[in-house]
Structure 1
Amino acid sequence: MIPKAENIESWHPAGGQLEVALLQIMQRHHHESLCQRKQTERAKMDAVRSAARVADLLVATVDGGVQELYINEKRIELEARALLATIAWYRKQTDQWLAATNAINSVLKEIGDFENWMKIMDFDCKRAIVNELNVGIKPSNDQCQHDSHQHYDRRSKYDAIVVTGDARFTRLHVHQLELEKTNLLLPGTLYPLQEHCPGKL
C-alpha cells in the first residue's frame, strides 16, 4: 500500500524531500495505471461490441444473400416442374393428334380403295352389259323381209339397237330400265328397233 503524501512525515520521522518526490511519482504512476487500465477496458469493450456488430452485419448480409438464393432456387424449381408438366401435356396432345391423324389416313385409304373397287366394278359391269348387247344372232334375208311387216310387243320390253361400228345390226329385246341404270340410255327416252339386213345400210 502506497502511503499518502501528507502522512510521509509521520511515517518517516526524519522525512526528506527525496522520499516525498518518490512517493508522489509512485502515486501518479499508480493513478495513471488505473486510468490506463480503465481506458483499456473501455476500449476493449468497445472493440468487442464493434466486432459483434460487424459480425452481426456480416451474418445478416450473408444470410440475406443466402435467403435470396434459396428463394430463387425454390422459384426456379417450381417453374421447372410447371414446365415439365406443360411439356408432358403437349406430348400427350401430340400423341393423340398423331393417333387421330393415322386413323383418318387409314379411313381415307380405305375409302379410296373402296372407291377404286367401285369404279372397277362399275366398269366391269358396263363392259359386260355392252358385250352382252353386242352379242346377237345374224338375221337372214327372209327373216328381214318377214320382220319388216311384223309388229313388236312393247308392253314390258323395248326394242333397242346397239351400234357396233359395223353396217350390220342385231335386234335385241332389252329392258329399258336396265339400260338407263348403266347410263347407256337417257332416262325417259325410247329407242325403237331399227333393223338392217345384210347389204342394207
Structure 2
Amino acid sequence: MLLTGSRCHQISSDFRHRESTRLPFPVNMLSRLLKEHQAKQNERKELQEKRRREAIAAATCLTEALVDHLNVGVAQAYVNQRKLDHEVKTLQVQASQFSKQTAQWISVVEGFNQALKEIGDVENWARSIELDMRTIATALEYVHKGQLQTAST
C-alpha cells in the first residue's frame, strides 16, 4: 500500500496526538485496576442479585409448601366438620323420632294399664256379684228349706 503525502501526514499527526494523550504508566495501571475492581463489583452485585432472586424463589416455594400443607389440614378439618354437622342433623332427626316412638309406647302402656285396671275392676265386680248371688242363693235355699219343713209338719 502506497501512502500519499497527505495521508502520511495524517497518520503521523494521529500518532503524535495519541502519544500526547497517553497517560503515564502508573495512571494507566490505576485505571485498569479501577476497571477491574468495578467489573468485580458488578460481578458480585450480579451474583448477589442472582442469589437474592434464588432466595426469594426458595422462600416462595417454602411458603407455598407450608400453605399447601396447612391447607390439607384445614381441608380435612372442613370435611370432618361437614361430616359432624351431617351426623348431628341425623342424630337430631333420630332423637325426635325416638321421642315420638317413646311417647306412643307410653300411651300404649298407659292404655294397657287402664285395661288391666278395668279387668281388675270387672273381676272385683264379678266377685262382688258372685258373693251377692251366693248370698241370695243361700237365702233362697234357706227359705225353700223352711217352706219344706213347714209343709211337712
TM range (shorter): 0.7 to 0.9
TM-score relative to the length of structure 1: 0.61
Q: Does residue 1:125 correspond to 2:133, yes or no?
A: yes
Cα distance in 1 for partners of 2:26, 2:36 equals 15
Q: Does residue 1:18 correspond to 2:3, yes or no?
A: no
Unaligned runs of 5+ residues in structure 2 are 1-16
Cα distance in 1 for partners of 2:106, 2:94 equals 18
Unaligned runs of 5+ residues in structure 1 are 1-8, 137-161, 163-168, 173-194
- 2:62 paired residue number: 54
In percent, how many aligned pairs have the same letter?
22
Q: For residue 34 of structure 1, what is the amino acid of its counterpart?
A: N
**Cα RMSD for the two superposed structures:** 2.3
Q: Does residue 1:90 correspond to 2:98, yes or no?
A: yes
Cα distance in 1 for partners of 2:106, 2:127 equals 31
- 1:106 paired residue number: 114
Q: Does residue 1:36 correspond to 2:44, yes or no?
A: yes
Deviation for aligned residue 1:16: 2.1
TM-score relative to the length of structure 2: 0.78
Greater share of residues in helix? 2
User: Secondary structure in 2 aligned to 1:108?
Assistant: helix
Give the number of the structure whose alpha-carbon radius of gyration is greater: 1
| Bigger RCO (CA 8 Å, 6+ sep) | 1
